[in-house]
Chain A
């Protein structure tokens, strides 16, 4: 469809043992456009980009950049050809300054070895003559000496002014002399982009750049990207968020299960079209929440206080109760005691005072194991750090909580065959993809959404009385989000009481029977989704009193406030309620 694209990848195929990650993928990017690459976790986006960035070799297919074939052996080759990549996890050294981080990796030789007049790499400017020019030209220009110098010396002193000028050119507001450790996440990301710009990229790949950003920071990133694109740089924007794809890209290519579904003009489609392309079926943006008559209280917490890891009080007297078949949503800006609340309710953290009763039994101060055995399930916020043992198999991880169940008895031993069957059941029922052998595949190899399905499956298959779910759908793709939410609602129908802690207001509104707002370790507001006023909730989350203008007193709370209320709009919720079709329920049917 493009006569003369800047980047053209055609017929790309990449196979890993047991999985075809990319199968005959066609992908092209025009000069100066922002091109969204959309797909669920595991759809093959990362593989495709790793091929483009020289990290993988394609098994078949061709890649052309600027009309010439591209044959890369390493990211260094990619960089040499003008391809830059900003990874999701930044590759910066906190102790070094912004300028030093930008120069780092450029193989800039130390001052004395740099050429006079600066012809070589981008950083060699004439200003260095005076500073370190004591080496004779003969040495300086000798090829061997230079190769050695580039290999074994490093010049981090290249002029900060130059980088500052570069930053100014693109309107980056970054103090280039400040150590990276002092920067916030948004600024660090700009440093990563700066690194790429310093290397003269024509093509910039951003891997889920907004995953770590607040909505305000994301907005800022979009402006930056627009500027870059206007200056002729092509940008590939990997995402699984629909709102982003429609908001800032010019065109979008959708991948599904390793194949290209198609490339569309972003202006000509809406989010539900994209969702359908991505998932391959209609996506329900509104969940069916059948009324469930709440039963006996499964959780009663009163006067709960707890400290965070630094010993500072994070919960200041929480009273809450959850009944069987009820989902209680906890809304709040991150860092207001949610983590401590989740951990305390799950028995992982000891409260400093107050009581926790589960099913009428006082479990205050009991071990985590007593909580687990007492029917409490927990989906921790950080699935890699707390949720799984990444290097162990899916089977190990699936069995983590039910290990003590006597179905796994084999005399005095543990019945590994039964463990394997148990894990396979969870993988099957919760549609965990990418597992060909539960004993072989490490949990850490699963994509975010699939790992989260495994974790939720592990927690729900036990048929818990109480589920504490902290950000169960953060950072996973649309299909998985829908599945996870459905699963939580199905479990609600089974009579499980759920505490759902989330920063996504849409999620809370869709799933909760009651909504609590947490602020600075206290529940400051209680309402129901039906009666709730989003604005008021947003105000309460940031410490406001409601309709008054308190928020204006605080310099930052305005932004945070907007961030929270915008959260829903920016997420998939923009289309809430727009569609509801029977086809969309197939996800639910699959589980059965």
Chain B
């Protein structure tokens, strides 16, 4: 028998494949995760029903999903924007912590009415996140220091700073437990009418709209796209890669910073160590899934939020381990990488039953 696998580089990617990749990726990941569910003696169809259908049809589940979407979409944009310029920001988590620290500090120490305090705290959070990403951005732009390493390592610095602050200078309100004092009401997000989610949801939507317009409609966005595609050609055309690199990191970091304060002002109400459940890292697959546009980043963020919320529902309803949500996330990423491969190559699999006894002449032992 002869198995032949032919790999052929695609000349152009068919439209259905280009646009369908995120969908196939998700479906593929869920199909693979079903194996794990079956292994846990859970009916995957029922489980996915609980996870998705029930979450989405229940107002509480919907609200939770929307709330979870906010930090994910903001950090997703923090990865997406540098990715447009060909850079990797894998440190959105650290930028998120710095934003949370700065925003909380302003919320606790400045007394202003809500209409001024929240914008001020957001500004502070954005600046802190921007600076935290700006450092790797500057190092990359000026000296070509690998931004993957710097952004990642600065994340640990940031979480340790936050952890120190809530045990030291900013500790308060919870006895000896690490954590800051409760934010005053003026610094906490009000709940939006009708939607019944905190006002940070609007911040997230505005950030998506701003990014979409920035990338698709402005000169800066044009330059970011060109630099991302060919930095040498961009430089030759008089575009400053240094400025573009700094810009995407500053703005991206600011988005992550906003995510940090949003989470404190809308959900946690006080700064705690390790308050983020890895939003900044989940942001990476979100940005990859949504790499073709800011609105897609939003959709990808919503999907991951649904995974989080539906996953905990699943945990309660079927007693499956919490790790399963992580497994599904990981499978999404693996499927994404695989999909990229199939986008680039077409694969033809052929099984020939070689029934002609050709080329046997001279074989000393004959067929075994």
Contact = CB atoms under 8 A, between A and B. Distances in A.
- Asked if A and B bind, the verdict is yes
B226 interface: yes
A362 interface: no
B232 A403 contact: no
B235 A387 contact: no
B296 to A, nearest CB: 18
B236 A141 contact: no
A140 B226 CA distance: 55
Contacts of A412: 218
Given A143-B1, A403-B222, A388 B233 contact: yes
What interface size band does chain B fall in? 35 or more
Contact of B368 (A141, A348, A396, A403): A141
Given A140-B365, A389-B229, A367 B240 contact: yes
A139 interface: yes
Interface string B324-368: 000000000000000000000000100000100001011111111
A228 interface: no
B191 interface: no
Contact of A372 (B218, B237, B348, B359): B237
B8 interface: yes
A226 B221 CA distance: 55
A436 B256 CA distance: 41
A400 B363 contact: no
A139 B368 contact: yes
A389 B3 contact: no
B362 A389 contact: no
Interface string A52-76: 0001000000000000000001101
Interface in A371-387: 371-373, 378, 380, 385-387
Contacts of B230: 385, 388-392
A1 interface: no
Given A147-B1, A387-B233, A141 B6 contact: no
Interface string A339-370: 00000001110000000000000000001111
B364 A116 contact: yes
Given A367-B240, A368-B238, A142 B8 contact: no
Interface string A117-156: 1011000000000000000111111111001000100000
A444 to B, nearest CB: 10
Interface residues of B, dominant DSSP: mixed
Contacts of B37: none
B363 A413 contact: no
A414 B237 contact: no
A507 interface: no
Nearest to A382: B232
Interface in B121-179: none
Contacts of A139: 368
Contacts of A380: 236
A106 interface: no
A401 B237 contact: yes
A116 B365 CA distance: 10
Given A147-B1, A389-B234, A119 B226 contact: no
Given A147-B2, A151-B3, A388-B233, A119 B365 contact: no
Contacts of B3: 147, 151
Contacts of B237: 368, 372, 400-401, 403
Contacts of A115: 363
B217 A368 contact: no
B239 interface: yes
Given A119-B359, A141-B368, A386 B226 contact: no
A74 B218 contact: no
Contacts of A421: none
With a 10 A CB-CB cut-off, give which of A116, A386, A389 has the most chain B CB atoms.
A389
Contacts of B365: 136-138, 140-141
Interface string B62-73: 000000000000
B223 interface: yes
Given A74-B6, A143-B1, A386 B362 contact: no
Given A140-B365, A367-B240, A372-B237, A414 B232 contact: no
B350 to A, nearest CB: 8
A141 B367 contact: yes
A404 interface: yes
A371 B238 contact: yes
Contacts of A388: 230, 233
Interface of B: 1-4, 6, 8, 213, 217-219, 221-223, 225-226, 229-230, 232-240, 348, 354, 359, 361-368
7 contacts: A115-B363, A137-B364, A141-B368, A369-B239, A370-B238, A396-B229, A400-B237
Interface of A: 55, 73-74, 76, 115-117, 119-120, 136-144, 147, 151, 346-348, 367-373, 378, 380, 385-392, 396, 399-401, 403-404, 408, 412-414, 416
